[in-house]
Amino acid sequence: MHVKIFSEHLEELELLLNGIAMMKELTKRTQDYLVSFGECMSTRIFAAYLNKLGVKARQYDAFEIGFITTDDFTNADILEATYPAVAKRLNGDWLSDPAIAIVTGFLGKAQKSCAVTTLGRGGSDLTATTIGKALGLPEIQVWKDVDGVLTCDPNIYPKAEPVPFLTFDEAAELAYFGAQVLHPQSMRPAREGDIPVRVKNSYNPKAPGTLITKERDMSKAILTSIVLKRNVTMLDIVSTRMLGQYGFLAKVFSIFEDLGISVDVVATSEVSVSLTLDPSKLWSRELIQQASQELDHVVEELEKIAVVNLLQNRSIISLIGNVQQSSLILEKAFCVLRRLGVTVQMISQGASKVNISLVVNDTEADECVRALHEAFFETKLQRDYTNGNGYVAKSS
């Protein structure tokens, strides 16, 4: 029976590939349908394996059990109608014939066209949190290849440690500014349903992982994690108009909106604004030449209203921590950077109040992250009152 199901899928996949080859065209809609086969096949294989072991399991295609999405192929959004539909199907099946549900990740059905869609980056985690919210579960677990969310990228600094607790605000900032473990969009249903999310390691199941909740005890928290975002483009934009001219910022950001370019970090004064451009958005056009031309166009448009200084090869170091300790975080951070001889070219505190972002040169970024991690997580900075030389690092 299982062999027949798999052979039918393979035959359908072969027909699809032949059609693509014949038409010499691959639309986003067809692309979503194509990539869905891997997930549909793997979940069927896993469910069959569990049943062979004597663990009763039932396979589901997400697009057949109520995952209703927008028609934005390759990056669809889950619609509100999904939650009651999924709850009705999974609860109904469980009550009539209990079995472990094995559901395809990152897939859905478009509301208008009824075609298969994919949910973009973090789509499998989004599927899990959507099911968790739909069923009102007490906890959602996301299994990765690391021991939870870490204090920094272990590829930069091997002494990175797991963070035991996070808030959804902290997790969102970490993900947006470069942490690869979670995607901000995937946490949305859990946050809305106030359901804790636990990040675990498939290769180390005994590790406690990271528990993400709406709130946590911040009384002893200072810094949670350090995140690095590379290949950032920075713009210094100074108004050519007189001091106090209203509408300057509105004009600046309308230019970015018209060009469809996302801004990361912003620092402003009355007549100037410094900002960084999201590299994933700016360089999403596959050819570097096209991206470079687009950047030139941004500068050209901005120069109609301002003097523009373009600075490339920059990095954003984001310090995710306790807003109540922001003065201490900044004090320690700038002490470390001064010792390294690094000049911070821009600083911004996010509206979420859990993120302080510093812009430095790409070439200095790794050294900065290592030194900051050592200062915040392995040593404490104390004032050397004996010689008046400011702050020195001492082992805790």
DSSP code string of 277-301: E-HHHHT-SS-HHHHHHHHHHHHHH
Residue 170: the pLDDT is: 87
Contact 133, 190 (CB under 8 A): yes
Residue 317: the pLDDT is: 93
pLDDT digits (tens, 9 = 90+) for 329-373: 889 999 999 999 999 999 888 665 678 889 999 999 999 999 999
Q: Model confidence at 389, in pLDDT bands (50, 70, 90)?
A: very low
Would you state the torsion angle of the CA atoms of residues 336, 339, 345, 349, taken in this order, to the nearest 10 degrees?
20
Contacts of 338 (CB under 8 A, 6+ apart): none
Tokens, residue 328? 């201490």
Residue 28 gets which letter from DSSP?
H
pTM of the predicted protein model? 0.80
Distance CA 372, CA 332 (A): 8
Largest CA distance in the chain: 81
Q: Cα 195–197–198 angle (5° rounding)?
A: 145
β-pairing verdict for 116-118 and 306-321: unpaired
Q: At what angle do helices 28-52 and 2-23 cross, to 10 degrees?
A: 170
Distance CA 199, CA 197 (A): 7
Residue 36: the pLDDT is: 95
pLDDT at 219 over 90: no
Give the mean pLDDT of the chain: 85
CA of 26: how far to CAs of 17, 30, 73, 114, 118, in Å? 10, 6, 12, 18, 15
Distance CA 297, CA 23 (A): 35
Tokens, residue 321? 């921590």
pLDDT at 318 over 60: yes
CA of 271: how far to CAs of 185, 246, 248, 258, in Å? 34, 9, 8, 22
Collapsing DSSP to helix, strand or coil, 168 comes out as: helix
pLDDT digits (tens, 9 = 90+) for 258-298: 877 778 888 887 778 889 886 655 544 443 445 567 778 88
Which residues, in sequence order, are bridge partners of residue 382? Answer: 392
Count of alpha carbons within 13 Å of 226, Cβ hemisphere only?
A: 27
Quick one: which of 43, 20, 15, 42 has its CA closest to 31? 20
For the ranges 114-123, 144-153, 279-288, the lowest mean pLDDT is seen at 279-288
Quick one: which of 382, 381, 326 has its CA closest to 354? 326
Backbone angles phi, psi at 289, to 5 degrees: -60, -40
Which sign does the torsion angle of CA 286, 105, 28, 190 carry? negative
For the chain, list the domains and their CATH numbers.
1-137 (3.40.1160.10), 138-216 (3.40.1160.10), 226-395 (3.30.2130.10)
Residue 213: the pLDDT is: 93
Between 292 and 120, the higher pLDDT residue: 120
Placement of tokens 């900032």 in the chain = 173
Between 248 and 158, the higher pLDDT residue: 158
- Segment 89-112 mean pLDDT: 96
Residue 264: the pLDDT is: 81
